[in-house]
Amino acid sequence: MDLKLELVAVPVSDVDRAKAFYMQVGFNADHDYQVSDEVRFVQLTPPGSACSIAIGTGLLDSPPGSLQGLQVVVTDINAARADLLGRGIEVTEVEKFPWGNFVYFRDPDGNGWAVQELPAWR
């Protein structure tokens, strides 16, 4: 049986600000539905990813900024860092570990993201 992770809900305080941020990072805006007065569902997908994120209202009880450890994988960490910087995203310097090279950034609410370049042995 396959179990495919396809959507992760990210708690945000301002849906429009978060949507603009993730689009600035380069995510594609797939859906934006005002389901009811209490529920808005916005789905965004990183380019090349099979997994999307959902932001909105009425989706989560988690406080905005409480999600940490979200991770995307790239083939070239230096190019990814340069791309993020070029898009106006605050991103850390490259950190090198035996399990890969990383940079980190946060969305406007403080939800934490890691960008990983896998090691050659993988």
Q: How far apart are CA 37 and CA 34, in angstroms?
A: 7
Give the model's pLDDT for residue 122.
57
Query: pLDDT (tens digit, 0 to 9) for every residue of the chain, 122 residues total?
Result: 999 999 999 999 999 999 999 999 999 999 999 999 999 999 999 999 999 999 999 999 999 999 999 999 999 999 999 999 999 999 999 999 999 999 999 999 999 999 999 988 75
Q: Which domains does the chain have, with CATH numbers?
A: 7-117 (3.10.180.10)
Nearest residue to 61 (alpha-carbon basis) of 102, 117, 9, 107: 9
First to last CA, the chain: 24
